[in-house]
């Protein structure tokens, strides 16, 4: 389970300064507890808010904006407790990578909102406190008699009022309060949080203004491509660069030696030209010899064959075990068994990987769309031997990440190329083929399920033989299963056993890491169990979750929000079923509903898909989503957009033939013709409802994705009588 929001273990600090020309600039820093600090890799979180003499408010967004809406949501949190009018927030600026000032600046694991919910609000409240005290001093009254609203300070007894800008300079001279002591608003007092708010960058995005990494332009800039081995781990044996150097527009051809892990710098040749097209065309003139022996035998078909062998053999490891699983299976009135397979997936971000870099006089300046910019900065420093204090890392808006940009290989490559041509701005841009074939893929996996049902139709035993990637029985990162994954802690007699095979292709996090594969397999199989038990999946789950439990509950009560709650699960299951008028019976010939539920990234989500199968084609008509991410939705407009995007992303994975295959480590897919994305004309209506619970708000970038895939597969099974056990959906191969 992910760490919960922690109360500060030490005093939070806030400093104030006078802006040039007058006004208040507030910097705040809040140390976190050790568990959270370990998760994000540093021990402080910070941000800035400034108020100009005219009352205009500028807020600095500390985390990368990747489409999840935090640039707007963070500003809303600060502005709410500052008690200004939202219209006064005239600018929300993106911070550069600087952990010393801002603390953790990563975007991933749906942690931005939960990790910053209290710190950012406290900072806004602290700034408000300073303004109140400044106004009180001017009027000679007690601060407790001064109220705030919409960016103005009022003293009811004397009828006096001031705008924030009028006392901002005076407030800057005051001693900031302890962040732990500032008074926060109650939800009933919110005037910004909880109100649908358009994204602060939306007008610029609609106009097509340059904001993304790919838009970066510098005077005298050259465009670069970087040719690497066609298989992971390939070594450059020899290189004839003469023809590429002579190609039109080419200014430099640079051979680079790999250093560090594969997400740092691998062997390759950079071509720099006056425009990207010319640089990319010159690739065909390179004469390179590669040693690809390390990937020999690492092929998709070989993995499938080995996985089938492992499923038939004794498992290598007991991952989860409770009760007498084997005994309960042996005595069951019915036994259900099935094997599920999930594929490798690429991220396929719409904005390909890119980075612009300038190395001059021993210092490096970088512009990059990175989910973890501090990580990129650290890698560049470590592997290219440039001191971190000599690196300036500008964070651009990100055109899709989904976990791909948690890796900073493209930033290290750009920095290495720039270092090879000092004084020349270099823009490295990957082609779509580069992006598909050099990914860190969502790992595949296989599940050999078995469940036992008693004479009363109750599931009494559950077992999964999980075949994944790793070594010595231990799974690789992102190819794992959490030890508190269902059914652990819920069913008395349950087991997950595991076997591993070694992997040769790079793997990494993809939106809702781990969960996006596990949910499809588990919820698909449980739908089969429900049918065998004479019920449907919602009722089966409600029965299994009938007793109130917190699975994976941490020791501290304040962390309970990170636990899987059967009570919260029941609420969203019931809500989704009611919203859709769910039925497990076909609603028309070839048309039916399917159900899916999952808990991940602190979110409980239940989803229903209405789909039909006709003439060999699947059509999704509507999706209903019920989710619980705590007591407060910061920005309903952004939240619903995140849920809808998650649903469409999941449907795209299932319906569009998304699958990565390879032979001897060389990826067979190359572009959107053979790794297709969803299309607008196939997108269904998505109805979203949030179920409030007594918990801090948690993230929304990921937990709504996993349930839609099994819900779709279960709908197809109900409509056709044929079960989908392998993704992506191939109707010709249905069981």
Residue 256, domain member (yes or no)? yes
Residues 140 and 33 in one domain: yes
Residue 400, domain member (yes or no)? yes
Among 45-59, 100-114, 627-641, 662-676, the least confident range? 45-59
Q: Quickly state the pLDDT bin for 561 (edges 50, 70, 90).
A: low
pLDDT of residue 44: 22
Which tens digit of pLDDT belongs to each residue from 504-542?
A: 999 999 999 999 999 999 999 999 999 999 999 999 999
| Full DSSP string of 530-578 | HHHTTS-HHHHHHHHT-S--EET--SSGGGGGGSEEHHHHHHHHHHHHH
Residues 686 and 547 in one domain: yes
Q: Quickly state the pLDDT bin for 735 (edges 50, 70, 90).
A: low
* CA dihedral sign, ordered 419, 424, 429, 434: negative
Query: What is the average pLDDT value for the chain, to the nearest integer?
Result: 91
Residue 222, domain member (yes or no)? yes
Number of domains in the chain: 3
The domain boundary, picked from 364, 398, 429, lies at 429
- pLDDT higher than 50, residue 703: yes
Residues 621 and 702 in one domain: yes
Residues 232 and 280 in one domain: yes
pLDDT of residue 513: 94
Residues 193 and 287 in one domain: no
- pLDDT higher than 80, residue 71: yes
- pLDDT higher than 70, residue 254: yes
CATH of the domain at 57: 3.30.365.10
Residue 435, domain member (yes or no)? no
Residues 587 and 718 in one domain: yes
pTM: 0.92
- pLDDT higher than 90, residue 48: no
Among 3-7, 53-57, 104-108, 585-589, the least confident range? 3-7
Residues 381 and 246 in one domain: yes
Which tens digit of pLDDT belongs to each residue from 304-319?
A: 999 999 999 999 999 9
CB atoms within 10 A of CB 685: 11
- pLDDT higher than 80, residue 554: no
- pLDDT higher than 60, residue 33: no
Residues 529 and 412 in one domain: no
- pLDDT higher than 50, residue 355: yes
Q: Which residue has the tokens 């991940």?
A: 600
Which tens digit of pLDDT belongs to each residue from 164-180?
A: 999 998 988 888 888 88
- pLDDT higher than 70, residue 150: yes
As a whole number, mean pLDDT of residues 666-693 equals 96
- Of 63, 66, 62, the C-alpha closest to 369 is 66
Q: Which two tokens stand for residue 74?
A: 């963070």
**b/e burial code for range 39-76 (CB count within 10 A of at least 16 → b):** bbebbbbbbbbbbbbebbbbbbbbbbbbbbbbbbbbbb
Residue 8, domain member (yes or no)? no
pLDDT of residue 35: 29
As a whole number, mean pLDDT of residues 398-409 equals 96
Say which residue, 84 or 39, is predicted with more confidence. 84
pLDDT of residue 20: 47
Residues 280 and 307 in one domain: no
Residues 112 and 84 in one domain: yes
- pLDDT higher than 80, residue 334: yes
Residues 203 and 217 in one domain: no
How far, in Å, are 394, 523, 606 from residue 413 at the CA level?
16, 41, 42
The domain boundary, picked from 400, 429, 458, lies at 429
| Residue range of the domain that includes 308 | 300-345+442-733
Three-state DSSP class for residue 392: strand
CB 529 within 8 A of CB 544: no
CB 260 within 8 A of CB 210: no
Residue 519, domain member (yes or no)? yes
Q: Quickly state the pLDDT bin for 618 (edges 50, 70, 90).
A: very high
- Do β-strands 459-471 and 474-475 pair in parallel, antiparallel, or remain unpaired? antiparallel
Q: Quickly state the pLDDT bin for 28 (edges 50, 70, 90).
A: very low
Q: Quickly state the pLDDT bin for 42 (edges 50, 70, 90).
A: very low
pLDDT of residue 173: 85
Residue 469, domain member (yes or no)? yes
Residue 62, domain member (yes or no)? yes
Residues 164 and 255 in one domain: no
As a whole number, mean pLDDT of residues 663-688 equals 96
As a whole number, mean pLDDT of residues 339-346 equals 98
As a whole number, mean pLDDT of residues 288-294 equals 97
The domain boundary, picked from 407, 429, 451, lies at 429
Query: Is the preceding omega at residue 511 within 30 degrees of 0, hence cis?
Result: no
């Amino acid at each position: 389970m992910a760490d919960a929001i922690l109360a500060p273990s030490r005093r939070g600090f806030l400093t104030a300064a006078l802006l040039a020309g007058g006004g208040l600039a507030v910097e705040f820093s809040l140390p976190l507890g050790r568990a959270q600090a370990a998760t994000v890799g540093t021990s402080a979180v910070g941000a800035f808010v400034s108020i100009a003499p005219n009352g205009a408010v500028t807020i600095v967004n500390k985390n990368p904006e990747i489409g999840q809406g935090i640039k707007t949501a963070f500003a809303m949190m600060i502005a709410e407790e500052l008690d200004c009018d939202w219209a006064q927030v005239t600018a929300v600026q993106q911070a550069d990578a600087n952990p010393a000032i801002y603390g953790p600046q990563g975007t991933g694991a749906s942690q931005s909102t939960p990790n910053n919910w209290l710190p950012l609000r406290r900072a806004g409240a602290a700034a408000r406190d300073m303004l109140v005290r400044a106004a009180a001093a001017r009027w000679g009254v007690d601060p407790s008699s001064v109220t705030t609203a919409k960016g103005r300070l009022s003293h009811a007894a004397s009828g006096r009022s001031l705008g924030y800008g009028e006392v901002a300079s005076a407030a800057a001279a005051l001693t900031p309060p302890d962040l732990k002591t500032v008074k926060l608003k109650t939800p009933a007092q919110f005037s910004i949080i909880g109100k649908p708010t358009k994204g602060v960058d939306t007008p610029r995005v609609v106009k097509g203004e340059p904001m993304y990494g790919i838009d970066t332009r510098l005077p005298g800039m050259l465009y670069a491509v970087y040719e690497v081995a066609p298989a992971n781990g390939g070594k450059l044996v020899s290189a004839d660069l003469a023809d590429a150097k002579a190609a039109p527009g080419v200014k430099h051809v640079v051979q680079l030696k790999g250093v560090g892990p594969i997400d740092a710098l691998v062997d390759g040749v950079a071509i720099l030209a006056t425009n990207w097209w010319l640089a990319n065309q010159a690739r065909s003139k390179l004469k390179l010899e590669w040693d690809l022996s390390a990937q020999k035998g690492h092929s998709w078909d070989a993995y499938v064959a080995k996985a089938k062998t492992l499923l038939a053999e004794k498992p290598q490891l007991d991952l989860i075990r409770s009760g007498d699983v084997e005994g309960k299976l042996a005595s069951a009135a019915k036994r259900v068994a099935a094997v599920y397979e999930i594929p490798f997936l690429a991220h396929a971000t719409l904005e390909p990987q890119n980075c612009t870099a300038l190395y001059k006089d021993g210092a490096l300046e970088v512009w990059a769309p990175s989910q973890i910019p501090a990580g990129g900065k650290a890698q560049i420093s470590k592997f290219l031997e440039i001191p971190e204090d000599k690196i300036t890392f500008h964070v651009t808006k990100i055109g899709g990440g989904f976990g791909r940009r948690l890796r900073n290989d493209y930033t290290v490559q750009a920095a290495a190329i720039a270092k090879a041509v000092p004084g020349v701005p270099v823009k490295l841009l990957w082609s779509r083929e580069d992006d598909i074939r050099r990914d860190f893929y969502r790992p595949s996996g296989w599940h050999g399920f078995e469940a036992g049902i008693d004479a009363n139709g109750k599931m009494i035993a559950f077992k999964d033989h999980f075949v994944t990637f790793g070594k010595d029985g231990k799974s690789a990162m992102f190819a794992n299963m959490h030890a508190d994954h269902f059914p652990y802690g819920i069913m008395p007699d349950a087991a997950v056993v595991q076997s591993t095979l070694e992997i040769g292709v790079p793997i990494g996090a993809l939106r809702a890491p781990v969960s996006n594969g596990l949910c499809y397999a588990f919820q698909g199989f449980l739908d089969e169990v429900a049918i065998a038990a004479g019920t449907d999946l919602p009722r089966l789950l409600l029965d299994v979750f009938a007793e109130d439990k917190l699975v994976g509950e941490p020791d501290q009560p304040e962390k309970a929000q990170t636990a899987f709650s059967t009570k919260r699960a029941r609420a969203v299951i019931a809500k989704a079923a009611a919203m859709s008028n769910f039925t497990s019976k076909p609603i028309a010939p070839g048309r039916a509903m399917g159900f899916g539920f999952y808990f991940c990234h602190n979110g409980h989500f239940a989803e229903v898909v209405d789909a039909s199968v006709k003439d060999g084609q699947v059509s999704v008509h509507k999706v209903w989503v019920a989710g619980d991410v705590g007591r407060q939705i910061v920005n309903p407009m952004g939240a619903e957009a995140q849920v809808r995007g998650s649903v469409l992303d999941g449907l795209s994975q299932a319906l569009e033939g998304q699958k990565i295959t390879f032979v001897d480590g060389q990826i067979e897919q190359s572009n959107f013709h053979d790794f297709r994305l969803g299309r607008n004309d196939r997108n269904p209506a998505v109805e979203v409802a949030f179920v409030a619970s007594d918990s801090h708000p948690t993230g929304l970038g990921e937990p709504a994705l996993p349930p839609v895939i099994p819900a779709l597969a279960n709908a197809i099974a109900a409509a056709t009588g044929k079960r989908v056990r392998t993704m992506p959906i191939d109707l010709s191969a249905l069981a």
